[in-house]
Amino acid sequence: MTPTLVQRHLPHAAPVSRADLCARARDWAEIQERMLVPLYEAVYERLEVGPGTRLLGLGCGSGLALLMAASRGAAVTGVEAAEPERLALARERLLPEAWSEREHTDTRLTDGRDDAVVAAPDDAPYNLITAFQPIGCTAGDSEGLSTLLESAAPLAERNASVVLVGWGPPERCTASSVLRVAKKLADPLRSAGSWRPALRDDLEEVAQRAGLRPDGSGRVACPFGYADTESAVRGLLSTRLFDAAVGATDQTQVDKEVTEALQPYVRADGTVWMPNVFRYLIARTT
């Protein structure tokens, strides 16, 4: 597995300053990432994640899903090459000590450059691979994930579970109306990074291209709840789904239009509430 493959799965649409990337990663970790906790819990419960689980998390972000698996007793390895700022936050969460000096640990994090870190410990293959970054919302994201999974599958045992995640139907996701701002503002020349509605068979197509066998699916309600509009804007922009729009226009324009699109979901007390549904697919390695 190489970082190039991971970066192809989660590309940046335009250059962003280091300070902005650090702030965005912090917004993801502190505001947005927790919105998917019901999804993580549902998957872990269904697959009985526990002490016998050897988990490889692809695109692990700032590590919340890994932390939840580790709290169940799982040995976890996380790969995050697309955004090193998120990986740094994952290390703060999961490896609070000097992580590079620890010789024995059931938790490992990497940017994907070191194959010895990505490979399963003690030659014990992984029995669970997760790709919790939802696909089916930007053009080209599913193709990149298929390539990434093809590289990761040989590290897993036969019939290991592979979990893919995507957005639910647009009519079940109120966030879709806000995400359409990303598509409207994005320059057509940057359309590869702009938002698109999720399609019914996105996850199955990824599994098929990666040589995986579908073996069940589910839907989970993951409402987006924010303390106020400002938090909602920061949280949504931390998803990276608006990068192409920012590159085509500017940050001020995107902030303004996202704020306007959020108005139908602002409650009387100023909080923002957006019901959404996410879909997951469980596939098996062959």
Instruction: Tokens 């269904």: give the residue.
Output: 46
Tell me: pLDDT of 132 over 90.
yes
Decide which of 106 and 42 is more confident. Answer: 42
What distance in Å separates the CA atoms of residue 85 and residue 78, rounded to the nearest whole number? Answer: 14
- For every residue of 242-261, DSSP letters joined together read THHHHHHS-HHHHHHHHHHH
Residue-wise pLDDT tens digits, 56-100: 999 999 999 999 999 999 999 999 988 999 999 999 999 876 444
- Sign for the pseudo-dihedral over CA of 202, 63, 180, 190: negative
Contact 114, 87 (CB under 8 A): no
Helices (H), 2-109: 3-9, 18-27, 37-46, 64-71, 84-94
Tell me: pLDDT of 2 over 70.
no
Give strand pairing partners of 110. Answer: 79
Please report the beta strands in 43-181, taking only residues with DSSP state E, as ranges in sequence order: 54-58, 75-79, 107-110, 126-135, 156-167
Q: How confident is the model at residue 16 (pLDDT cuts 50, 70, 90)?
A: low
HSE of 76, CA atoms in CB hemisphere, 13 A: 27
Q: Which one, of 57, 153, 54, lies nearest residue 106 by Cα?
A: 54
Residue-wise pLDDT tens digits, 177-233: 998 888 888 865 455 545 566 667 889 999 999 999 999 999 999 999 999 999 999
Average pLDDT over residues 234-245: 92
Residue-wise pLDDT tens digits, 135-175: 866 666 677 788 889 889 999 999 999 999 999 888 899 99
Average pLDDT over residues 100-126: 72
CA-based angle 48:169:30, to the nearest 5? Answer: 60
**What are the phi and psi torsion angles at 97 (to 5°)?**
-85, 180
What distance in Å separates the CA atoms of residue 233 and residue 243, rounded to the nearest whole number? Answer: 13
Domains annotated for the chain, with CATH where assigned, are: 3-170+195-224+277-284 (3.40.50.150)
Q: Which one, of 127, 207, 204, lies nearest residue 159 by Cα?
A: 127
